[in-house]
Amino acid sequence: MKKFLLSLLAIVAVSLTAGASTATILTNSSASTWTAGTKMYSTTINGFNLSYEQNTSGTTPVAPKTDHIRIYKNFLFKISRTDGAAITKVVMHTTSSYTADMAVGSDTAKADETALTVTWTGSTTAFSAVAVNAQVRIKSIDISYGTPAAVEDPAFSPAGGTFYADQNVTISCATAGASIFYTTDGTAPTTASSAYTAAIPVTLGTTTIKAIASKGTDLSSVVSATYVVKPVTSVSNIAGFVALDSAAAGKITNPITAIFQSGSNLYVKDSSGYLLVYGAMSNKYNNGDVIPAGASGVNSPYNGIPEMQCDSTTFDAGTAGTAVEPTAMTIANLKANQASILSHYIAITGATLTSISGKNFQIHVGTDSIAGYNNLSATIPTNGGTYTVQGFVSQHNGVIQIAPSAFINEGVTVAAPTFDPAAGTYTSAQSVSLESATDGAMIYYTTDGTVPSASSKAFTSAIAVDSTMTIKAIAILDGSKSDVASATYKIIITSDVASISDFAALADNAGAKFTNHVIVTAQTSDKKYTFVKDDSGAMTIFGTLDNAYTLGNVIPSGFIGTKSTYNKVLELVPVSGFSAATSTVEVTPEIKTIAAVTNADQSKYVKFENVNLDTVVSGTKTTYFLVSGTDSLEVFNKFGITMPADLSKKFDATGVMTVYSKNLINEFYPTIFEAKSGVAAVTSSDVKVIAGVGEINVIGQAKKIEVYTVGGALISLGQSKISCAPGLYIVRTDNKVAKVIVK
């Protein structure tokens, strides 16, 4: 871990150049009087207005310290001149471990962790930067202001630095119409140098690019950037990286798991060991996040501690994984195994804390003690309680110490957050509040499916939920964590419909509220399928309802659902508002013939008069068909009625039509069979008809064998083995008729 001792001179320096000025502003509490406002602090000093604001952060701003101001993550930092002059460059001088990129509109103020600066160049009368990645602590600021140059200085992307892969460097100029010229041989560029037209490839070794911009007779300053591209050794794991020579670059070719991140410090592990990664990163990681293969950097042991100086461009966004738990260890074990457990994630239970002074403190368990150094910005408790100290094994000048990540009060149990309103389905946007029954507990939450932690968004005001969302939340007090609570909100925005035909006109998945009633024609015993009608049409309600309904029951208006279409069957997926029947009316089925049935009859309540009921047996399965002449219609006993045993009669069959399979085959769900008189088909016991895969076989002695399609077309005469396509066929053998299904 890097530790720096810096001194600060309390001065304000101003230098003048042609048409522009540069001022150095100190931000500490002694240099100026800062005024506390609503979630902000502001001051005016030497002609500059400065402020820092809470913005979208869950952290409350704190007053300036004796040597810096703290711009927490997501804070907004502003600078402007009292005379309205343009600001053309801002260089923020920062403290160790608190140097990170900041967003300035669509631009970036770039961090240099070696120089401890964050720099932006441009032209604006109102400089506004957001600490999007991490906290930034600012000691002083160099500000260039006044009349901008006639031609802006060229800018390089990426900025110069050390890399572990070939780069393509682009050069741009903010001055419209300017031309850029450059050199790579160390000479100063002129308008006679190479004109910049495309990205410049930078390969292994050291390359310095110098550039100048021109427009007319005006020239910018000469700017330069040096790129060092180093060779990289591929290793399979952390142990392989640690085994590299000091200052060698390595790439870990397998994924690694993040444990804890604070500022420029990231602790990671894999099955081979633990490692401290140091450097500013654009991605932020939670415990358990899996960082993809390819993480690269320089092996830079510090104070005897394994460490990677990272190439942040190789640290891609992580995917949520299983959180890493610390290894419980005694102080004696830590001291005995110091050399082999550096950077390991550990926990010391039953600890008390003493000698707290700045970042230094002592951890005691019984008569054993060990030093702690709070360089990861944990909050050290001072109430004298007993704690579990979680953190990472470190050392300074060869003496073991603990870098704490959390202090868990062993006397505190934290209640999990509760949600108001509760999880559920709603037809309008909701404002969700979170609360823990444990006084003083802070609540943190996520809406992206990841497990919340203390680094997640803090709950400070109601969460706006205007689309389907899952909120996960955790409460934390003195390092003690509650269980993770979760609530899913389904938001369905509805439009009023006055009929089933209006509902059918909606797009799939659209929400609807019925302003008219519907009449029930049938319902399955499990209440999952309910068939209804009105004067405009029929539909299926697919989804378990609270109420049971019978034929003719009237479901009152006001119910809500979403539209779905399955095999052309119009379905309403229920959401809410399905009240008990208000009355019962007489329902007359529509008289249909088998030949006239189409897919458009789905969900209709129908009646087929004077039809036969036939069966086809395939293995243990018996399939029923309504038959009228050469027309047939498959029957499915959806409502579990008792099927007729005597098939010699004709029937009036009443029920509901539907459509099944991707081939859109019509199917009948019977509710009642009314028997009429009939004559049984003559059968012959010595002839059998067997349907197989792609064929029909007639076994036994038959003088006459005829095979027809269900449409009445003769496809075979006199053959005992008939090859045919899958489907339903009628087979006549002498005086016996059978229907078979070919697969």
Please state, in angstroms and rounded to a whole number, the distance separating the CA atoms of residues 92 and 109: 9
**Per-residue pLDDT, 682:** 33
**Per-residue pLDDT, 149:** 66
The CA-based angle 119-125-128, given to 5 degrees, is 50
Quick: pLDDT tens for 150-164.
788 899 998 888 787
CATH number (domain holding residue 663): 2.40.50.140
Residue 62 falls inside a structural domain: yes
Residue 597 falls inside a structural domain: yes
The strand pair at 40-45 and 35-37 is best described as antiparallel
Share of the chain above pLDDT 90, in %: 59
pLDDT band at 14 (very low <50, low <70, confident <90, very high): very low
Please state, in angstroms and rounded to a whole number, the distance separating the CA atoms of residues 638 and 667: 10
Q: Give the chain's domain count.
A: 8
Domain termination site, one of 116, 146, 176:
146
Residues in CB range of 150: below 8 A, 6 or more apart: 175, 215, 218
645 and 693 housed in the same domain: no
Neighbours of 356 (CB within 10 A): 14
The strand pair at 480-481 and 469-477 is best described as antiparallel
* Closest residue by Cα to residue 127 from 107, 110, 147: 107
303 and 340 housed in the same domain: no
How many helices (H) and strands (E) would you count in the chain?
3, 66
Please state, in angstroms and rounded to a whole number, the distance separating the CA atoms of residues 533 and 522: 10
528 and 473 housed in the same domain: no
Q: Is 288 helix (H, G, I), strand (E, B) or coil?
A: coil
65 and 82 housed in the same domain: yes
Residue 581 falls inside a structural domain: no
Handedness of CA 327, 333, 334, 338 (dihedral sign): negative
398 and 427 housed in the same domain: no
39 and 138 housed in the same domain: yes
Question: How confident is the model over 163-170, as a mean pLDDT?
Answer: 88
* Closest residue by Cα to residue 269 from 290, 283, 285: 290
Question: How confident is the model over 94-112, as a mean pLDDT?
Answer: 87
487 and 396 housed in the same domain: no
Quick: pLDDT tens for 361-381.
999 999 999 999 999 988 898
Please state, in angstroms and rounded to a whole number, the distance separating the CA atoms of residues 342 and 306: 7
17 and 138 housed in the same domain: yes
CATH number (domain holding residue 524): 2.40.50.200
Please state, in angstroms and rounded to a whole number, the distance separating the CA atoms of residues 387 and 201: 55
**Per-residue pLDDT, 710:** 77
Position 161, amino acid: G
Instruction: Report in angstroms the alpha-carbon separations of 437 from 300, 412, 413, 415, 477.
Output: 47, 12, 10, 6, 12
Q: Which residue has the tokens 């064929």?
A: 695
Position 165, amino acid: A
pLDDT band at 651 (very low <50, low <70, confident <90, very high): very high
Domain termination site, one of 675, 705, 724:
675
Instruction: List, in sequence order, every residue forming a beta bridge with 274; answer none if it has no partner.
Output: 269
Provide the mean pLDDT of the chain. 89
**Per-residue pLDDT, 20:** 61
- Residue numbers of the domain that contains 635: 590-675
Residue 608 clears pLDDT 60, i.e. is over it: yes
Quick: pLDDT tens for 197-213.
999 999 999 999 999 99
Q: Is 333 helix (H, G, I), strand (E, B) or coil?
A: helix
Q: What's the token pair of residue 147?
A: 């009349």
Residues in CB range of 349: below 8 A, 6 or more apart: 328, 365, 388, 410
667 and 705 housed in the same domain: no
57 and 112 housed in the same domain: yes
Residue 548 clears pLDDT 90, i.e. is over it: yes
User: What are the φ/ψ torsions at residue 109 (nearest 5 degrees)?
Assistant: -85, 115
613 and 639 housed in the same domain: yes
pLDDT band at 686 (very low <50, low <70, confident <90, very high): low
Residue 582 falls inside a structural domain: no
Residue 113 falls inside a structural domain: yes
Q: Are the C-beta atoms of 605 and 521 separated by less than 8 Å?
A: yes
* Closest residue by Cα to residue 527 from 542, 513, 516: 542
Residue 436 clears pLDDT 80, i.e. is over it: yes
**Per-residue pLDDT, 385:** 86
Domain termination site, one of 208, 229, 250:
229
Residue 681 clears pLDDT 60, i.e. is over it: no
Q: Is 399 helix (H, G, I), strand (E, B) or coil?
A: strand
Residue 5 falls inside a structural domain: no
pLDDT band at 392 (very low <50, low <70, confident <90, very high): very high
User: pTM of this prediction?
Assistant: 0.46
Q: What does the chain come to in residues?
A: 743
Residue 1 falls inside a structural domain: no
More confident residue, 518 or 679: 518
Residue 704 falls inside a structural domain: yes
486 and 499 housed in the same domain: no
